[in-house]
Amino acid sequence: MSATLIRGGTVVTAEGEFRSDVLCVGETIAAVGPNLEIPAGAKVLDAGGAYVLPGGIDPHTHMELPFMGTVASEDFFSGTSAAAAGGTTTCIDFVIPAPQESILDAYHKWRGWAEKAACDYSLHVAITWWDDSVRQDMVTLAEEHGVNSFKHFMAYKNAIMCDDETLVNSFKTARDLGALCTIHAENGELVYVLQKEIFEKGITGPEGHPLSRPPEVEGEAANRAIRIAEVLGVPVYLVHTSCIDALEAVTRARLEGQQVFAEVLAQHLVIDDSVYRNTDWDAASHYVMSPPFRSKEHQAALWKGLQAGMIQTTATDHCCFCTPQKRAGIDDFRLIPNGTGGVEDRMSVLWHHGVRTGKLSPSQFVAATSSNCAKIFNIFPKKGAIMPGADADIVIWDPDATRTISVKTHHQNIDFNIYEGMEVTGNAATTLSRGMVVWENGELKTVRGRGQYINRPCNAPYWAAQNRRNALAEPTAVDRS
Ligand code: URP
Ligand code: ZN
Ligand code: ZN
């Protein structure tokens, strides 16, 4: 079996930092400790002056997603390769069945697409409609296919939006399975009405997008989903939390002891809504995603939420549409495919703007880029950890390496980069995926199809308390005999 010794680095975990070597044998970590012996024939990687981190986990990507009349340009191979170049070694993508499509068939379709992935991946499954077959298929997915998270889009009316009836039915089923409910929180009815009003006022360009999706729209949906989850006794996870309104709903619930988790996108932390006022239509359209970019006061609150632990994970919602695809909405902002990229840049952006500014410690960075995600989605310590037995998904992180983010040098399959021109210090020098070097000296070495599907069992120790609490609170009838 091949062996790799990573020598002389500072290992960072969510718990702390220590000088240590890391020995990988085959696909797993065999030993962590000082001055480890070099096994015969082992490859030695010098990590002197660098950090040694668990490979990043991006819990929110959309490779080759069919959406809004087109298909996302990044496929599972190009996307997971670009991820590796930035230090991310696992992506959790989404199966999004069309309404009335069997969710099990959709799952198998996505599994087929994902076979080309270069690094490991898993799949959340969206519940976009309801009948008893959907309930049955949720059981099959949870019990036989390692799916422990079901996604609910509260927006995208007349497409994949989940109404309250579906939400309640799905939440109940997830609770009984010991699964987690994830939420895209925006009130889709309000968005629909506001889009129409704004368009009829003659605002047809990308600036109409944020006007039709104000923070209140997200706050209302976040609060509704959280309250429904509270009544039914199921843990929830808000994806792409972008504003104070949603963060307040999360904070309130967490302070009441509810199992509520929140994710923030790297781009929502560092890009504000001024991008929509760019007079160049193409440039403004590149930032059309939902929820939209917000004003700086929301960004500041999101950073504080991350620092305080109210937000546990960071993601990218990597969903790439190239400029010609965005132009489908040239006369009507409602038709611009929603989505932005960034799977390659998340770790650098967070290090530069989070760790280097003193907002996050290296350990908090590891928690927010991998370990918390692994715990919430129940793949810890296989992923998100540097310890014997864990998968050898490791990044040798150079905290002093500087690069300027650009479409000219990125590895993502998209013709622009939302961070274009941003200088970041802190970069993946070497990335290992299950023991294999996939990124080294600025060169990608990924292999198409080497990525493996990761099963995620239900009842994660991290949140199963919610289900237990619910069982303890079984209602009883009054005895009137
Ligand atoms: O605009 C976005 N976020 N597109 C991808 C689908 C979603 O809402 O996550
Ligand atoms: Zn979404
Ligand atoms: Zn998404």
CA of 240 to the centre of ligand 2 (A): 7
The whole-number pLDDT of residue 254 equals 97
The whole-number pLDDT of residue 471 equals 60
Q: Which residue ranges in the chain fall short of pLDDT 70? A: 466-472
Q: Going by CA atoms, what residue is nearest to atom 8 of ligand 1?
A: 290
CA of 168 to the centre of ligand 3 (A): 21
Q: How far apart are CA 71 and CA 279, in angstroms?
A: 27
Q: Which atom of ligand 1 is nearest to the CA of 156?
A: 8
Range 156-160 contact pairs with CB under 8 angstroms and sequence separation of 24 or more: 156/188, 157/188, 157/189, 157/191, 157/192, 158/192, 159/68, 159/99, 160/96, 160/98, 160/99, 160/126, 160/128
The whole-number pLDDT of residue 466 equals 67
CA of 151 to the centre of ligand 2 (A): 9
CB 175 within 8 A of CB 206: no
Helices and strands per DSSP (H, E), number in the chain: 16, 19
**Global pTM value:** 0.97
Residue 22: φ, ψ to 5°? -135, 125
Q: How far apart are CA 386 and CA 56, in angstroms?
A: 12
The whole-number pLDDT of residue 472 equals 63
Which listed ligand is nearest to 65 at the C-alpha? 1
CA of 393 to the centre of ligand 3 (A): 24
Please list the residues that pair with 126 across neighbouring strands: 151
Pocket lining: 152 vs ligand 1, CB cutoff 6 Å: no
The whole-number pLDDT of residue 349 equals 98
Pocket lining: 338 vs ligand 1, CB cutoff 6 Å: yes
User: Which amino acid appears at position 352 of this protein?
Assistant: H
Pocket lining: 137 vs ligand 1, CB cutoff 6 Å: no
The whole-number pLDDT of residue 452 equals 98
Pocket lining: 161 vs ligand 1, CB cutoff 6 Å: no
Domains observed in the chain: 54-384+454-462 (3.20.20.140)
Pocket lining: 62 vs ligand 1, CB cutoff 6 Å: yes
Strand locations in 119-173, DSSP E?
120-126, 149-153
Q: Going by CA atoms, what residue is nearest to atom 5 of ligand 1?
A: 339
**Which DSSP letter does residue 277 get?**
G
Q: What tokens appear for 262 in the block? A: 């929140």
* Pairing of β 260-265 and β 236-238: parallel
Q: Going by CA atoms, what residue is nearest to atom 2 of ligand 1?
A: 339
Which listed ligand is nearest to 287 at the C-alpha? 1
CA of 13 to the centre of ligand 2 (A): 29
Pocket lining: 120 vs ligand 1, CB cutoff 6 Å: no
Residue 285: φ, ψ to 5°? -65, -25
* Ligand 1 pocket mutation, candidates 218, 263, 319, 326, criterion most atoms within 8 A of CB: 319
The whole-number pLDDT of residue 21 equals 98
Which listed ligand is nearest to 268 at the C-alpha? 1
The whole-number pLDDT of residue 467 equals 61
Q: Going by CA atoms, what residue is nearest to atom 3 of ligand 1?
A: 290
- Kindly calculate the radius of gyration of the chain based on its CA atoms and give it in whole angstroms: 22
Pocket lining: 310 vs ligand 1, CB cutoff 6 Å: no
Q: What tokens appear for 279 in the block? A: 């007079």
The whole-number pLDDT of residue 464 equals 73
SS3 171: helix
